Chains A and B, each alone.
Chain A
Amino acid sequence: MSGKITLIIDGQEIEAEIGQTILDAADAAGVYIPRLCAMKGLSPHGSCRVCTVHVNGRPQAACTQPVAPGMSIENETPELKAHRVSVIDMLFVEGNHYCMFCEKSGNCELQAVAYRLGILAPQHDYMFPCRGVDASHPEVFIDGNRCILCGRCVRASQELDNKNVFQFVGRGIHKRLTFNAPNNLSQTDLAGIDKAVDSCPVGAILRKGTAFSVPIGQRLYDNEPIGSEIESGRRTNDRQV
């Protein structure tokens, strides 16, 4: 089924196609809805809830909710901003996010969304969890301290690399990322060029030997907030996956 419909986002009428999600329709119309677990080219996950919008008054994840005729969507409201700040705050305090020495800093989507929302400090107490680092793989390392459990590597490995390297284990606060091998990452069939490596929004999965290759001031989010490329209709920063 296909066909054009119109919806309203923050009072502005936009065109959408039946079958699109709210997030895709908004992107195409140049309206940025913040997101972390959603990524172009991957099936939606709906887990981070950063993209929550109000659809006819009800909260819905924009990345999973299909568009429908008659939808009136709220995106940039003080209430939804407060919700997003709260979610980002919790992601920061639940992990160990040391931006000052993280090589992803400046290109990190978690940090970029926090910058865009104007967060100066989290409102919750830090948990300082104990998480491990796996540097066994010759080309890739994993730092569990920075993982936000978005599941992008899990999906990218399955859907784009046709492998099954990553998976989640545990539930709730015990949930963590693991990989399909008995001991360490080098025993998996992960390759350095895999799209799963590029899919990580934070510095949890990084390619070795590429650190700090872009100087401060020229990194992805140094000068323009995340989402600017969608708002200006340029779409240049969309990762090609």
Chain B
Amino acid sequence: MMSKPKIATTSLAGCFGCHMSVLDIDDRILQLVDLIEFHKSPINDIKTFSAPCLVGLIEGGCCNEENVHVLKDFRKNCQILISCGDCAIMGGIPAMRNNVPLKECLEEAYLNGVTVHNPSKKIPADPDLPLLLDRVYPCHEVVKIDYHLPGCPPSADTIWEALVALLTDKPLELPYSLIKYD
């Protein structure tokens, strides 16, 4: 028997809501594990790619250099990349900072905000912290993305339909009821 195709998932600048929506397919997850094997994913805590994957499911846009690194790693190791959810597609809530210069964002968060308690009066700059990008980038502005599943989050049915279509070599055609941007 051929080994099952692998799927990898990650959450970049997202809230894990899209991963919750993956789990929201309920008992269909039993059918899913018959069809696929979860590889690198927060669901099983596998941290690195050790084999090529068929599908990479990306939640969240790119707000820091680590997001870009992970996204490029996914592009290298996954045959099909899916932007899952509005953050991956258009930046989402994190992209609301795109209208404000990064310096002002950090000063508001760590120095000037009315509820800020920061006796050191310093903005965190530890080398271990991923460097923030000038703005939040949608995934398809960083790497080639093959499919987009809009929604905040995309409904479990949307994710299910998309995965089943891909795994059974059918065209991905979402019905009207599954195309939602909210």
Closest Cβ of chain B to A111, distance in Å, is 6
Q: How far is the CA of A130 from the CA of B98 in the complex (A)?
A: 9
Interface pair A96/B177, CB less than 8 Å apart: no
Closest Cβ of chain A to B3, distance in Å, is 31
Interface pair A126/B176, CB less than 8 Å apart: no
Of the four ranges (under 10, 10 to 19, 20 to 34, 35 or more), the interface on chain B belongs to 20 to 34
Q: How far is the CA of A102 from the CA of B90 in the complex (A)?
A: 15
Interface pair B140/A225, CB less than 8 Å apart: no
Interface pair B93/A98, CB less than 8 Å apart: yes
Closest Cβ of chain A to B163, distance in Å, is 15
Q: Closest B-chain residue to A122, C-beta based? A: B90
User: Considering residues B90, B96, B174, which has the most beta carbons from chain A within 10 angstroms of its beta carbon?
Assistant: B90
Interface pair B177/A223, CB less than 8 Å apart: yes
A100 interface residue, CB < 8 Å from B? Answer: yes
B89 interface residue, CB < 8 Å from A? Answer: yes
A120 interface residue, CB < 8 Å from B? Answer: yes
- Identify which of B98, B99, B140, B181 contacts A111 (C-beta below 8 A): B181
Which residues in chain A, 2-54, are within 8 Å of chain B measured between CB atoms?
Answer: none
Q: How far is the CA of A91 from the CA of B69 in the complex (A)?
A: 31
> What are 30 A-B pairs at a CB distance below 8 A?
A92-B90, A98-B92, A98-B93, A99-B86, A99-B182, A100-B86, A100-B92, A100-B152, A101-B93, A102-B182, A105-B181, A111-B181, A114-B181, A115-B181, A118-B179, A119-B179, A120-B89, A120-B147, A120-B150, A120-B179, A121-B89, A121-B90, A122-B90, A125-B138, A125-B141, A126-B90, A126-B138, A128-B91, A223-B177, A225-B176
- Sorted from nearest, which 5 A-B pairs have the closest CB atoms? A100-B152, A121-B148, A99-B181, A128-B98, A120-B148
